[in-house]
Structure 1
Amino acid sequence: MTAEPPPTTVPSGIPALEATTPTPRAELPELLIITGMSGAGRTRAAAVLEDLDWYVVDNLPARLLPEVVGMMTRSAGGVQRLAAVVDVRGRELFGDLAEVVDTLRTAGIAYRILFLDASDQVLVQRFEAVRRPHPLQGEGRILDGIAAEREIMHSVRERADVVIDTSDLNVHDLARAVRLAVVGGDEDALRINVLSFGFKYGIPLDADHVADVRFLANPYWVTELRHLTGKDEPVRDYVLGLDGARVFVDRYAFALEPVLSGYVEEDKRYATIAVGCTGGKHRSVALSEALAAVLRERGHRVVVSHRDLGRE
């Protein structure tokens, strides 16, 4: 008789992941544990991950990680990238972290640990700048709290997949370092939304740049084009065939290059380029599509949306 395999044991007080049919590797959720020294930039790192469409949970007790990950694996079409901020604010529960990550590894859950650190001097300066005590300071000094935290964090730092020293980094440098460490360079590019609209419905509130293309003849006054839109070939050909249309698209794209490069340097991740005509149906739609095509040819990540298309 074949002996039954022994059950998987987990540390006391930590829920076991439910035994299920193995999930294909490509469908497993991705887990990033963000931890490190208080004042080293965990909040900023979490915000960067949110901007990259990760689901972020802040101040999660370590022992709840298997439970949250288990919910992710059982959720069809649910969260696939979870970033959990685990730190000494919940110090009574923080000691479970080392055992918890061993449990995750046994269960086949892929995870990485991102550890943020900084020198004692810098951490003291940051706490003094915001006039807040260190969470482990108690009745002592800020340095006492930092020393206590370093002792608690030592074993976790040794396990970290990535350690980022933020001592000499500003918020933009830190954001770039986190993106590079977590997702590489692919998601570091600026995301551009080219948005067509009609001036008679108002300028988009979130537009970073607004281009007015009402200098071109309006296809609305061409009977056979009136019922069509700028996404239809006859209107597109008509608009782009007008004097100045192609020149406008090419020169506007060229003029945007230093602006878009500057956005990347200043850690701006999204930009909305609004292109408007009278009703947002013909000229702005055709030129938005053309502008997006040129920007893509220049290597940018671009989506196109048409705010007022379909309005009467």
Structure 2
Amino acid sequence: MRQPSEQITDEAGQQPETVGADNVLVVVTGLSGGGRSTVARALENVGFYVVDNLPQALLLDMAELALKAGGAARHTAMVLDVRSRAFSTDLAGAIRALKERGFHPRVVFVDADDEVLIRRFESVRRSHPLQGDGRLADGIAAERELLAEAREQADVIIDTTHLNVNQLRRRVEELFGGEDARRLRVTVLSFGFKYGLPPDADFVLDARFLPNPYWVPELREHTGREEAVSGYVLGQDGAVEFVENYASLINATASGFEREGKRYLTVAVGCTGGKHRSVAIAEELAGKLRQSRLAANAQHRDLGRE
């Protein structure tokens, strides 16, 4: 097997691209109903570019396209499905071709007991793609035979018989996502109520209980990102407690959000125009969350609109 950073040689003998250690290629296959779609979504959650229902004949072409694209495509996952008309049983040959071109694919195979697969198909009232005119069990048996060699060649076999969706997602994230990829990311977004609520807000905080710096002539033209305004806002009665209480709430719920698969949390902080109070509070709250080791940043939707 070639070592990381070895160059690919094309048919003309040229070496246009290099497969480096930062290129990660994952091939996902397995039994229908086993959880391929959940695996694909989990890989997307940890930063993979996912190509679903890819014909096996296009594995090498897709891998080379991803290599040339670079960027986010450096981490690419390709999901194979027996429902693809171009699917063949020679997965080992396709993987061998990838390795000969310098790639280092990891093959993930999802599996489950027949009884569980039958229950899953019956629960959604779908027929098996290989069932034809036979029974559901016949389709599962045919697929097992078709994928027997693929299962033997897999680097990772995930048996989903006793896993729910969240457990399967966590398993994939443990395998392919670094700690940073699995962390909850918090955006503290300031906004002005007069411009409408942010539609993606998970929490909405109202800072209009604080005196408005707009009515202080020397502060009116400044923003909550400036020390004079920030000091004025945070110096008001209840301001610091307001920030600390919400920081405690978000910290208390963060682990639960991560456990349930939520990766992005938006905490919206509003005032009248989104220029003074909400901006100062958002900056302070984001800082408090970072002190608690949460990945948090402050953004200001309406700053500059006035």
- TM-score for the superposition, normalised by structure 2: 0.90
Displacement of 1:54 in angstroms is 2.0
- The 5-angstrom pairing of residues 248-259 of structure 1 reads 248-259=242-253
- The 5-angstrom pairing of residues 8-157 of structure 1 reads 19-23=14-18, 25-26=20-21, 29-75=23-69, 77=71, 79-90=73-84, 92-157=86-151
Q: Does the alignment pair 1:233 with 2:227? A: yes
Q: Does the alignment pair 1:220 with 2:214? A: yes
Q: Which moved more, 1:265-274 or 1:119-128?
A: 265-274
Displacement of 1:255 in angstroms is 2.1
Residue 311 of structure 1 is matched in structure 2 by 305
Cα 1:253/1:310, change in 2 over 3 Å: same
Displacement of 1:87 in angstroms is 2.0
Cα 1:76/1:264, change in 2 over 3 Å: closer
Distance 2:253 2:67 in 1: 42
Q: Which moved more, 1:193-202 or 1:219-228?
A: 219-228
Cα 1:94/1:19, change in 2 over 3 Å: farther
Distance 1:303 1:81 in 2: 25
* CA-based RMSD: 2.2
Distance 1:87 1:199 in 2: 48
Matched length:
299
Cα 1:244/1:160, change in 2 over 3 Å: same
Distance 2:13 2:190 in 1: 49
Distance 2:284 2:155 in 1: 44
Preserved contact between residue 16 and residue 66 of structure 1 (Cα < 8 Å): no
Amino acid at match of 1:156: A
**The one of 236, 242, 245 aligned to 2:236:** 242
Displacement of 1:57 in angstroms is 1.1
Distance 2:259 2:40 in 1: 20
Displacement of 1:158 in angstroms is 1.9
Amino acid at match of 1:202: G
Cα 1:264/1:32, change in 2 over 3 Å: same
Distance 2:134 2:288 in 1: 60
Amino acid at match of 1:40: G
Gaps of 5+ in 1: 1-7, 10-14
Gaps of 5+ in 2: 1-7
Amino acid at match of 1:274: A
- SS of residue matched to 1:25: coil
Displacement of 1:96 in angstroms is 3.6
Displacement of 1:92 in angstroms is 4.6
Displacement of 1:97 in angstroms is 2.2
Distance 1:229 1:34 in 2: 50
Preserved contact between residue 17 and residue 68 of structure 2 (Cα < 8 Å): no
Distance 1:87 1:16 in 2: 29
Q: Does the alignment pair 1:211 with 2:211? A: no
Displacement of 1:32 in angstroms is 1.2
Distance 2:14 2:96 in 1: 16
Amino acid at match of 1:242: Q
Aligned identity (percent) is 51
Distance 1:22 1:285 in 2: 46
Distance 1:35 1:17 in 2: 32
Q: Does the alignment pair 1:187 with 2:181? A: yes
The Cα offsets for residues 50-80 of structure 1, whole Å up to 9 and x where unpaired, read as 2333221111011111111212222354622
Greater than 4 Å deviation, 4+ residue runs? 15-19
Distance 2:296 2:202 in 1: 15
- TM-score for the superposition, normalised by structure 1: 0.89
Cα 1:274/1:78, change in 2 over 3 Å: closer
Residue 289 of structure 1 is matched in structure 2 by 283
Preserved contact between residue 17 and residue 67 of structure 1 (Cα < 8 Å): no
